[in-house]
Every structure is written in C-alpha cells, then in structure tokens.
Amino acid sequence: MELELKKQSRHGYPGLLIPIEGTDGAGRTTQIEMLRNWLAIEGYGVVISEWKTSKLIAAAIDQAKEKNLLHAYTFSLLYASDFADRLENVIIPALKAGLIVLTDRYTYTAYSRDVVRGVSPEWIRKLYNFAPQPDLVFYLKMPVEILLKRIIGTSGLDYYESGRDIGLSTDFYESFKIYQRKILSEYSIMEKEFDFEIIDGTLSVDSVQNKMRKKVKELLDSGVIK
C-alpha cells in the first residue's frame, strides 16, 4: 500500500482562502473579478466576500460613519463584528464546501487602518486571531502619488479614505497624502510578518492579472484542493 501525503490548506478546510489587499484605488476589485472569471472557466467554484458587507452590521457602520461619531476602538470593533458575521455565514461555509474564497480585503486592512487611527497593533492582531490563515495573500502595492491621481480621477477624495476623521490636516489633499502614507507604512510592516505576495500595482491591469494567475496556478498545481 502506498502512503499518500496530501497537501493541506493552511487553515485545514478543504477550500482555498485568498485575500487581495491594497489601499483604495489599487485595483483590487477589477483584479478579483478577472480572477473569478478565469477560475470559473478552469472549473473551480469561487465565492467572493468583500469588506464590510455583512447583511446585519454593514448598515450600522454606514449610519455611524455618516454621523462621524466613532472613536477608534468603537470603529475597530464594529468592523470586527462585520467580519465575524461574514466569516461564519459566508467564508467558512464556502471553505468547508471546498470552494475558492477570494476576499476583497481581509484582517490586514484592519491592522493598517485601525492602527493608524490609534488602536494598539498587538490588540488588533489578537482581536482577529479567530480568522482562518489564508493560503495566499496578494498585496497590490502602489506609491501614494499614483494612488492620488487614480482616486482623484475616478471617485474623488472620500472623507474617511482621506483620514479626515482623525484631523491630520484640514486640507483634503494634504490629509489624504498623510493618511495614505501612514496606511502604506503599516502595510509594509506586514509584508514579511504575513508573507504577502507583493504585486506592483502600477503595472497594467493585464500584467497584474497574469502575475496573480501564475501564483494561484502554482497553488492549485500543488494539489492542495481537488
């Protein structure tokens, strides 16, 4: 009888968990959509889960943000509630069913945003310690200057994306620059800590996608899911 060593996913479920991280305007949503289409054609079942989309809690977050009345820890805990709810209702069931789960942002988003807003880095990592460990984390890395142009050219500067709630500067443009720099610096701390697969977000949409597919293909070829 031959002993077969079956490769295991990092979290122990039969599916695969692949978060895509990066600041606003880094192109995450486009890339995830393209990955999904490709994987579907390859014959894999895919589930996408986006940050702040739990049915129950997302509305409460929007309401609170509208009134701009959140303190750093309250803000952080609200997002964690949303995440916990999605984890139990969407992500874990999909992983158990052997699907590939692509998440638009993951706990790392909280580790950067919430720390910039003043919560302790150690506290936030412990808070999310119930999250399954991903099999592969993509980080779409972008320099601030290019991010700024992209965002101004598309959606425009948003109050929270510019970190206006933490009073960095009354100048929207300045505030955005300072805030996003802080966010990027938190991400760079995590590159090694969480073994990010760094992708240069300034490349063309197609080159980014090709690099991502290559990595996902390697993972699939390793036989981690059937």
Q: Binding residues for other proteins, per CB under 8 A?
A: 56-57, 59-60, 64, 69-71, 73-74, 77-78, 80-81, 84-85, 88, 119-120, 123, 126-127, 129-130
The three-point CA angle 193-117-179 to 5° equals: 85
Q: Which is nearer to other proteins, 92 or 203 (CB)?
A: 92
Q: How far is the CB of 69 from other proteins (least distance, A)?
A: 8
Q: How far is the CB of 68 from other proteins (least distance, A)?
A: 12
Q: Which is nearer to other proteins, 62 or 158 (CB)?
A: 62
Burial category of 165 from C-beta neighbours within 10 Å (exposed 0-12, middle 13-18, buried 19 and up): middle
Q: Which is nearer to other proteins, 75 or 139 (CB)?
A: 75
Q: Which is nearer to other proteins, 20 or 80 (CB)?
A: 80
* 38, 100 Cβ separation under 8 angstroms: no
